[in-house]
Amino acid sequence: MRSRVLTKACCWLAVLLCVGLADAQTFPRLKPIPPRGPRNAVSAANSAPALVANAAVATALSATTSSGPSSPWQPLTNQPPFTTNDCNGGFPGAANPLLLTDGSVIVQDAGCPDWWRLTPDSSGSYANGTWSQIASLPAGYSPLYHSSAVLPDGRVIIEGGEYNVYQGVYFTPIWTADGAIYDPVANSWTSVAPPPFFDVQETVLPPPFAPIFAQTIGDAQGVILANGIFMQADCCTNEMALLDAKTLTWTQTGAGKYDPNDEEGWTLLPNGKVLTVDAYVPIPPFPYIPDGTNSELYNPATGTWQSAGSTIVQLWDSGLTCGEFNAASPTPTFEVGPAVLRADGTVFYTGSNTCADGAGPTAIYNSRTGQWRAGPIFPVVDGVTDINIADGPASWEPNNKVLMMASPSFGNPPSFFFEWDGRHLKQVPGPPNAPFDGSYYGNMLVLPTGQILLTDFSGDIELYNPTATPADRDFERQIAPVILDTPLLLARGGSYRIRGTGFNGVTQGAAYGDDVQAATNFPLVRITNLRTSHVMYSRTHDHSSMALASPAVVSTHFDVPAGQEPGLCLLQVVANGIASEPALVFVF
């Protein structure tokens, strides 16, 4: 049945007409596509004239952003060898990094069908790792701004896309409902049909295309629940669905959702529930409520949503203080910043405020008490007053800090990097591209080494090295995985079961929101040969649970590579960059 709800480009025009604002801007705008390829001041200024309007700021940033010896950032020695094709037009760029269960990392040539794999070297270094191309997406599927997750069986799912290839034209804004699953063993993608019960909606496409009637998923959020089931939202309604990964069939869920899913992120909590902050996107018939501060919790036991109370401060960009619907472009964007769960059970939620005199708020949700409190506001840096995260990445660090990427207005360069330690929001140096990047260019990923990998639609992938004081190391030992039971004799090419606690870590890891997900709350098995010190990862699969910070015993299976070096080895389980105490095993 055709829905009354139209997708963004159509809905917003209808809303404005209804409220008598036919001459006003339409909202929200399409999320822009970042500049691809190498960064420099000229290309950045040409792509967005306001980016480097303040030359002093750009100069100051350039002085404090580098990959030098004293910087916490380091570039990959081997950057991805992207190829030129009709999609990237000779300007490829890395995005959507995902950690596979064999310890390798895959990245997408942003918005294009090609993906590439980074394999760590024999010492376990990702900085010195090597690249290989994996299978490309099914024909007709080339999404930009889509959901993604690593399933418990080790496969990868991506769903939707705000942009897709349409009738041969790449980067067409279409809010596609297409999806695909990648099998790393077979090195192949399989198309996934959308939930059959998602509404069919009218989508207005840019000229010369006529409007179409189709289902949508678009730039919607997805999450692996604690029970291992993947849940996917529809961007443009309040609908969502659960996937049976074996049969690739969908089941309805999510009754009671207050507002449309658009622009919202999902954060898995230690109690198994999912937290979201409502973005109040007024897709008809939902009204525009400029002062809303509601949050919600999804209960997987009942499949329903209920209010999680007021966030105290407004975390979504409503234009409340600068004209609301009449605000100067691009406000309101309805964007919300990323949210990261920390080991103490609190969620650090970042906010968006694109008003010219605004600054991004933050809030802290205590998952143990169910209470919100206001956090710090993003500070003024070198005269830049409107720093916020209107889409952008954040990541948990093994030292329990949260790293984040912010920028002025709606993702205008330059970008600024901050850490939250539970008490203070402190600026930290940025990578070399920070003067030319907006916050929404970035994607983050927690590596098994504890480093944070950052992509930004360029060919420069950087690694952030968190601080590791003796106190940090003690903290890591307290939350590290614990191996309870593992085979001690391992045959090369054999498959085994291992059990323990803390196998999923205490957090999902990195966050972004509705456009990107890169959770790493699953166990990896790392084997180090004692004679050569060479490191290899065994592919894990079929984890018994994906629950966070759980004392329950978890099991997973691991496949020892045929090329694993024989002899005495140390076996460790790694979750979110923190390794267990080793078990002595013999590989033959």
Give the pLDDT band (50/70/90) at residue 56.
Answer: very low
Determine the structural domain holding residue 491 and report its residue range.
480-587
Question: Are 156 and 67 contained in the same domain?
Answer: yes
Question: Are 464 and 492 contained in the same domain?
Answer: no
Amino acid of residue 278: D
Would you put residue 385 in left (φ > 0), alpha (ψ -120 to 50) or beta? alpha
Residue 572 lies in a domain: yes
Give the pLDDT band (50/70/90) at residue 46.
Answer: very low
Residue 579 lies in a domain: yes
Cα(307)–Cα(284) distance, integer angstroms: 21
How many domains does one find in the chain?
2
Q: What CATH number does residue 226 fall under? A: 2.120.10.80
Q: Answer with the residue of higher pLDDT: 543 or 30.
A: 543
pLDDT tens digits, 317-376: 999 999 998 999 999 999 999 999 999 999 999 999 999 989 999 999 999 999 999 999
Judge contact between 212 and 206, C-beta under 8 A.
no
Judge contact between 534 and 528, C-beta under 8 A.
yes
Instruction: Note the Cα 559 to chain centre separation in Å.
Output: 27
Q: Select from 415, 442, 471 the last residue of a domain.
A: 471
Q: Select from 445, 471, 497 the last residue of a domain.
A: 471
Question: Are 423 and 526 contained in the same domain?
Answer: no
Question: Are 331 and 388 contained in the same domain?
Answer: yes
Secondary element (H or E) of residue 477 = helix 470-479
Judge contact between 34 and 438, C-beta under 8 A.
yes
Question: Are 466 and 491 contained in the same domain?
Answer: no
Residue 72 lies in a domain: yes
- Look at residue 244 in the predicted model and tell me its pLDDT: 96
pLDDT, mean of residues 550-562: 98
Going through 228-280 in order, the beta strands assigned E by DSSP cover 230-233, 240-244, 249-253, 267-268, 274-277
Residue 303 lies in a domain: yes
- Look at residue 105 in the predicted model and tell me its pLDDT: 98
Secondary element (H or E) of residue 9 = helix 8-18
Listed as own residue / partner, the contacts of 102-109 with beta carbons closer than 8 Å and 24 or more positions apart are 102/154, 102/184, 102/524, 102/537, 102/538, 102/539, 102/540, 103/448, 103/524, 103/526, 103/537, 104/537, 105/129, 105/445, 105/447, 105/453, 106/134, 106/156, 106/182, 107/80, 107/455, 107/461, 109/82, 109/85
- Look at residue 302 in the predicted model and tell me its pLDDT: 98
- Look at residue 380 in the predicted model and tell me its pLDDT: 96
Secondary element (H or E) of residue 269 = none
Cα(392)–Cα(389) distance, integer angstroms: 6
Give the pLDDT band (50/70/90) at residue 30.
Answer: confident
Q: How many helices and strands in the chain, by DSSP H and E?
A: 4, 43
- Look at residue 40 in the predicted model and tell me its pLDDT: 67
Q: Give, in order, the Cα–Cα distances in Å from 485 to each of 285, 490, 496, 557, 572.
A: 54, 13, 11, 12, 12
Question: Are 169 and 199 contained in the same domain?
Answer: yes
Judge contact between 457 and 466, C-beta under 8 A.
no
Residue 168 lies in a domain: yes
Kindly state the greatest CA–CA separation across the chain: 76
Question: Are 521 and 419 contained in the same domain?
Answer: no
- Look at residue 498 in the predicted model and tell me its pLDDT: 98
Question: Are 506 and 410 contained in the same domain?
Answer: no
Question: Are 438 and 533 contained in the same domain?
Answer: no
Q: What CATH number does residue 546 fall under? A: 2.60.40.10
Residue 273 lies in a domain: yes
pLDDT tens digits, 379-413: 999 999 999 999 999 999 999 999 999 999 999 99
Hey, how many other C-beta atoms are within 10 angstroms of the C-beta on 369?
9
Average pLDDT, the chain: 91
* Residue that the structure tokens 């960009």 belong to: 317
Q: Select from 434, 449, 471 the last residue of a domain.
A: 471
Question: Are 417 and 442 contained in the same domain?
Answer: yes
Cα(15)–Cα(27) distance, integer angstroms: 9
Residue 2 lies in a domain: no
Question: Are 118 and 178 contained in the same domain?
Answer: yes
Residue 3 lies in a domain: no
Question: Are 466 and 507 contained in the same domain?
Answer: no
